Amino acid sequence: MPGTVYTLEVNPRIPPRLQRLSELANDLWYSWDRPTRALFARLQPTLWLAVGHNPKAFLKRIDQKRLDAAAEDPTFIGSFNRVLSAYDTYLDIAADTATRHGFHSDDIIAYFCAEFGLHESLPIYSGGLGILAGDHCKAASDMGLPFVGVGLLYRQGYFIQTLDADGRQHANYHDTDFGDLPATPVQDEQGREIRVAVDLPGRQVQARVWEVRVGRVHLLLLDTSLPENSEHDRDIAHRLYGGDIQTRLEQEILLGVGGVRALAAVGIAPTVWHINEGHAAFLILERIRQLCLQGLSFPVALEAVAANVVFTTHTPVPAGHDHFSEEAITRHFAQWCADVGATPAQLLALGETVGEREFNMTTLAIRGSRLHNGVSRIHGDVSSHICANLWPQIEPAENPLSYVTNGVHTRTFLATEWFETFDRYLGVGWEERQTDAASWAKVEQIPDTTFWGIRQMLKSQLLHMVRHRVSTQHARNEDSPSRLDRLLRLADPNKPNVLTIGFARRFATYKRGALLFHDLERLAKIIANSERPVLFLFAGKAHPADQPGQELIRRIAQIARLPQFEGHILLLEDYDLHLSRRLVAGVDVWLNNPIYPLEASGTSGMKAAMNGVLNVSILDGWWGEGFDNQNGIPNGWSIKPAPGHLDETRRDDEEANSLYEILENQVIPTYYRVGPAGLSTDWVSMAKRAISSITPHFNVNRMVGEYVHNFYLPAAAQGRRYSAEHFATAHAIADWKARVRAAWPGVALRRVDTPPLRLGFGDSLRLEVMVRLNGLPAEDIVVEAVFARPSSSGKSKKGRHAILLPVGDAEHGEQRYALDLTPEHCGKLEYRLRAYPAHAQLTHRFEMGMMLWL
Ligand SMILES: *Cc1c(COP(=O)(O)O)cnc(C)c1O
């Protein structure tokens, strides 16, 4: 058609009585408060779906008549007032909580992450990392922590996925209208939008600062789509993880450097800095630069900065760590070197990793932080090994990389139906007792029929949605109507008694989305019994650059079309937070079969467990800690990883066989062991145990509590200590480290007593070691005996340490250290002697990474 199309959006006028709807629409509190979402939804249900559950976009488009009617509707006003009262109460409790946790009144934690997954209406996340960050913010709000999140506001979040009839993935990106997002530009006192400038080679880029309310805390997000920037620079934060390596570098500079400047621009002076995954590690460089401009030297500034930085790594393989060419780093940080008074070599050393040519962001993050962790016990161990080269003389088991196991935000992922039941059986206020196992144990008191009824209802709701989605997919792909009937034959909301197994996550090859299809004949037999039907629901996106991942989706789509599997396997499009909430609540079993040990943590299984869903999972990530079998009632099923020396095919064989066996002999019979009450009491017992044993530990309040006690409080205190009296401690530590580093190669140990082979019980053992100090004072070196009892497995158990003390003065540059001790037990005893540099102000005793063994 000829002519220009002009577009116009007509916005309703919100009646005065409903004015505070806008306030609710601008606070991500709605992402976990279901009554708030329900309030919007019931105003105009179809529009609510059409705007993707986005309250702000919803309020801009809702029909005026509906708003006016709601303002006069006593039932609606009643619900509205209840929501507002809950909201106001929530915000009100904030006042004194920071100091209650042990923080100083001026403490504030800045939490940096490249993605935040709070709700589908703010699409700035791609998967697990973002959702964890979102949950972290929600817990910070719930706990009333002094906390601010820092991230990027992408014009395009992750893509919307459609699948064609052959299972080919189509990635659709579309620009969001920032006006529709629950984010507001931060303004200065004159009402002008705040800008921060970030330096890139040959130019400055301007960034706008947005604020997102998440209950009691805020998130600051940066974007560069401003007229004053060049066209290239406007697109820096265009797409989450978009563009090439150059864009990635620019995004990370915007996040790290721009984030530090944005905090200053809005008047926030953090006392703890948390880097969640390496993307944000450039914040270390910017903070060093600012201290150097105040007159500190580079080594002193590094100590002062690192003292209060916390770094969490999420990556289980070295190749997954972000890195950039050294040339790109020196080019982008040339001015930094000038400001700091550092050479390019000193800059590059911060990201240098043995055996790698590139600048590694994880290395920078560890060198520039003093508290570091992985995200599960297994992943902590894996990370200690990956990063072992940073503490070259320390054994991985003892290096400073520890772990905090992830958790999930209960109120976000628990289905509405459970809230009332928990109110009744756990007692009102159970949300405040989330980490209390005794409170969760009361789940046992929920009558089986009630419990089962809720499970069935949640499944029914899910199947309703599944039918709708599959029908839409089917219609788009112009498939035959009779095929649709066959496809949906088991997904019947009126008959939610079909065992339903969910598998939804990113289709990355290590997650082995197709392990279930390892032996098609066996799988066909497993599901062929018409008395015990099984329905599998699959969902997940593959990164558009990941061909093997997309191939997995195609393979599953093709298998789903085979006559023996038709109707048993449904593949759902566009896995996001919304679909995730429904799936983890509605299925009976949550399946996870990654390659050990590549699942850093995984969190979807925790969401499933708290909804009474049973996990079937490889013992990897969080499940390594979550699975248990107390009193003979397991809280799920575990697949033991095949021994590490097997090749890929044998490993998949082994683990697929375990999976089939668990399905054949345990999952299916237990589910269908239906008794006179019309339910399987064995299943219900296990499901109750899943809730009561997993939820108290794998919730995000427990996780953030650990961060507070083991990381944030010590970091805040240490930051204060290092910077007090014009950074006296930072100076002392920097000087001391330089001295120790220079002297250490010349330090040597020798034992001077004659080691006895036998000792009578009650006799004492004398240990005497001479240490060549090479100019270091004796108190800078700890000499230690490490004891172990040989165990039956051949491996020594980790034992006690005993410290040898300096005796007399040094003679000819050698210092004597000695200890007399009386063994407490009879039997064989092994011990070793070692020495390492020590200083009372170090964060971790092995921070220097130096150790000499005799
Ligand atoms: C919870 C969640 C994840 C992360 O879970 P994994 O177990 O790591 O896959 C990813 N995507 C969505 C949408 C989620 O809700």
CATH of residue 764 = 2.60.40
Ligand 1: atom nearest CA of 506 is: 9
Strand pairing category for 801-811 and 814-821: antiparallel
- 817 in a structural domain: yes
505 lines ligand 1 (CB under 6 A): yes
* Sign of the dihedral defined by the CA atoms of residues 273, 277, 283, 287, in that order: positive
Strand pairing category for 272-276 and 309-312: parallel
Q: What angle do CA 312, 368, 352 make, to 5 degrees?
A: 100
577 lines ligand 1 (CB under 6 A): yes
Ligand 1: atom nearest CA of 601 is: 8
Identify whether residues 530 and 615 lie together within a single domain.
yes
135 lines ligand 1 (CB under 6 A): no
CA of 386 to the centre of ligand 1 (A): 24
Q: 698 and 609 in contact (C-beta within 8 Å)?
A: yes
CA of 531 to the centre of ligand 1 (A): 33
Q: 390 and 313 in contact (C-beta within 8 Å)?
A: no
- What total of structural domains would you count in the chain? 4
131 lines ligand 1 (CB under 6 A): yes
CA of 282 to the centre of ligand 1 (A): 27
Q: 537 and 488 in contact (C-beta within 8 Å)?
A: no
pLDDT at 224: 97
513 lines ligand 1 (CB under 6 A): no
pLDDT at 791: 63
Identify whether residues 78 and 145 lie together within a single domain.
no
| Closest Cα to atom 4 of ligand 1 | 128
Mutate to test the pocket of ligand 1, among 126, 575, 603 (most ligand atoms within 8 A of CB): 603
The tens digit of pLDDT for each residue in 710-734 reads 999 999 999 999 999 999 999 999 9
Distance, CA of 113 to CA of 517 (rounded, Å): 36
Identify whether residues 196 and 233 lie together within a single domain.
yes
CA of 523 to the centre of ligand 1 (A): 26
The tens digit of pLDDT for each residue in 289-343 reads 999 999 999 999 999 999 999 999 999 888 888 999 999 999 999 999 999 999 9
Q: 370 and 304 in contact (C-beta within 8 Å)?
A: no
- 394 in a structural domain: yes
Q: What does the CA dihedral 330, 335, 337, 338 come to, rounded to 10 degrees?
A: 140
580 lines ligand 1 (CB under 6 A): yes
Ligand 1: atom nearest CA of 408 is: 1
Distances (CA, A) of 105 to 99, 146, 514: 6, 9, 52
Mutate to test the pocket of ligand 1, among 240, 575, 580 (most ligand atoms within 8 A of CB): 580
Q: Which two tokens stand for residue 88?
A: 């106001």
Residue 312: strand, helix, or coil: strand
121 lines ligand 1 (CB under 6 A): no
Amino acid letter, residue 300: V
Identify whether residues 79 and 113 lie together within a single domain.
no
DSSP annotation of 318 reads G
Residue 748: strand, helix, or coil: strand
DSSP annotation of 27 reads B
Q: 781 and 771 in contact (C-beta within 8 Å)?
A: yes
Ligand 1: atom nearest CA of 128 is: 4
Residue 503: strand, helix, or coil: strand
Distance, CA of 576 to CA of 791 (rounded, Å): 49
CA of 505 to the centre of ligand 1 (A): 6
CA of 606 to the centre of ligand 1 (A): 10
Identify whether residues 690 and 803 lie together within a single domain.
no
Distance, CA of 284 to CA of 273 (rounded, Å): 9
pLDDT at 631: 82
Mutate to test the pocket of ligand 1, among 604, 615, 617, 703 (most ligand atoms within 8 A of CB): 604
Identify whether residues 564 and 618 lie together within a single domain.
yes
Cα 829 to its chain centre, rounded Å, is 42
Ligand 1: atom nearest CA of 576 is: 13
128 lines ligand 1 (CB under 6 A): yes
The region, left, alpha or beta by phi > 0 then psi within -120 to 50, assigned to residue 42 is alpha
Identify whether residues 758 and 715 lie together within a single domain.
no
Q: What pTM does this model have?
A: 0.96
Amino acid letter, residue 509: T
Distance, CA of 612 to CA of 418 (rounded, Å): 10
CA of 337 to the centre of ligand 1 (A): 40
591 lines ligand 1 (CB under 6 A): no
Domain containing 777: what range? 747-853
Q: Which two tokens stand for residue 43?
A: 């105003």
pLDDT at 794: 47
Q: Which two tokens stand for residue 471?
A: 């029908």
Identify whether residues 52 and 141 lie together within a single domain.
no
pLDDT at 93: 74
Q: 138 and 703 in contact (C-beta within 8 Å)?
A: no
- 845 in a structural domain: yes
Identify whether residues 508 and 537 lie together within a single domain.
yes
Continuous segment of H or E residues that includes residue 383 = helix 377-386
Cα 338 to its chain centre, rounded Å, is 36
Q: What are phi and psi of 502, to 5 degrees?
A: -105, 145
Strand pairing category for 195-200 and 184-185: unpaired
- 844 in a structural domain: yes
Distance, CA of 401 to CA of 311 (rounded, Å): 10
Identify whether residues 537 and 577 lie together within a single domain.
yes
31 lines ligand 1 (CB under 6 A): no
Q: What angle do CA 316, 321, 327 make, to 5 degrees?
A: 165
| Closest Cα to atom 8 of ligand 1 | 602
Identify whether residues 645 and 712 lie together within a single domain.
no
Identify whether residues 656 and 714 lie together within a single domain.
no
Ligand 1: atom nearest CA of 599 is: 8
- 440 in a structural domain: no
- 419 in a structural domain: no
CA of 687 to the centre of ligand 1 (A): 21
CA of 604 to the centre of ligand 1 (A): 5
What CATH number is given to the structural domain containing 233? 3.40.50.2000
- 77 in a structural domain: yes
583 lines ligand 1 (CB under 6 A): no
Q: What angle do CA 597, 601, 606 make, to 5 degrees?
A: 130
| Closest Cα to atom 5 of ligand 1 | 604
Low-confidence stretches of the chain (pLDDT < 70) are 94-98, 790-799
- 694 in a structural domain: yes
